[in-house]
Amino acid sequence: MNIILLGPPGAGKGTQARRLVEERDMVQLSTGDMLREAKDSGTDMGKRVADVMARGELVTDEIVIGLIREKLEGAKGGGFIFDGFPRTLAQADALGELLSEEGQSLDAVIEMRVDDDTLVSRITARSTCGNCGEVYNDQTKPIPADGRCTSCGGTEFKRRADDNEDSLRTRLMAYYKQTSPLIGYYHAKGQLRAVDGLGEIDDVAAEIAAILD
């Protein structure tokens, strides 16, 4: 089963994708994570995209489609969670073609709905474990007092360069302008399902599970 998690920054796509990986043995394909890895390891592409990402703008379709193509070519079985991809109509078309070339299909597109105020407060309070990627929130899920990650015991935590108010405004605008048209696109294809992204992590996970089963 291949699915897309669609929603604005801070909607909880990454959190839910991680759960699906643990509970259903699916494979998470996050273009955001792939681009951050390229940046951190200092590849040419990583250097080219760093500023664009820090500003909160989208990197080119060509780059992200290339990243996804590499992961899909020759991949066995189903079970991909597309997280943060596609983000434009051109990317959505490319994904459809790539999947059909691999003899695979898209089973559901899950739109995670969250209001803008919640997005802003989630993202400006967000940090992640530098080792395992567990997500923390200064208000709702603070880093434990002993400074150790609850999931792996790691002691280093990071904040993303684009988790600041200016970049976030740009990211939200990019979402509404360039990505939200995908809601209509997948609705028209009969593949769109929506979940309330404001609930507790477990409740959102249960809604997603109900759609997948």
Binding of residue 72 to ligand ADP (CB under 6 A): no
Binding of residue 53 to ligand ADP (CB under 6 A): yes
Query: Which residues, in sequence order, are CB contacts of 201 under 8 Å at separation 6+?
Result: 12, 15, 16, 19
For residues 84-103, b (16+ Cβ closer than 10 Å) or e, as one string? bbbbbeebbebbeebbeebe
Binding of residue 9 to ligand ADP (CB under 6 A): yes
148 catalytic? Reply is: no
Under rule CB under 6 A, which residues in 131-150 are in contact with ligand ADP? none
Give the CA distances from residue 34 to residues 140, 178, 181, 183, in Å, rounded to whole numbers and listed in that order.
27, 20, 24, 24
As a whole number of Å, the end-to-end CA separation of the chain is 10
Minimum distance, C-beta of residue 146 to ligand ADP, in the bound complex (Å): 28
* Position of minimal CB gap to ligand ADP: 32
Q: Which amino acid is at 19?
A: R
Is the CB of 62 or the CB of 148 nearer to ligand ADP?
62
Compute φ and ψ for 23, nearest 5 degrees. Answer: -85, -25
Is the CB of 26 or the CB of 38 nearer to ligand ADP?
38
13 catalytic? Reply is: yes
Is the CB of 2 or the CB of 31 nearer to ligand ADP?
31
113 catalytic? Reply is: no
Cβ(81)–Cβ(29) below 8 Å = yes
Question: Residues 18, 171, 204, 207: which binds ligand ADP (CB under 6 A)?
Answer: 171
How many residues touch ligand ADP under the rule CB under 6 A: the total is 17
Minimum distance, C-beta of residue 12 to Zn ion, in the bound complex (Å): 18
Task: Give dist(CA 72, CA 169) in Å, integer.
Answer: 32
Sheet holding 126-129, edge to edge: 135-137, 126-129, 157-158
Minimum distance, C-beta of residue 213 to ligand ADP, in the bound complex (Å): 26
Question: Residues 4, 17, 29, 58: which binds ligand ADP (CB under 6 A)?
Answer: 58
Two tokens at 86? 């596609």
Binding of residue 134 to Zn ion (CB under 5 A): yes
- By the criterion CB under 6 A, which residues form the site for ligand ADP? 9, 31-32, 35, 52-53, 56-59, 64, 84-85, 87, 91, 162, 171
Supply the residues annotated as catalytic. 13, 87, 126, 160, 171
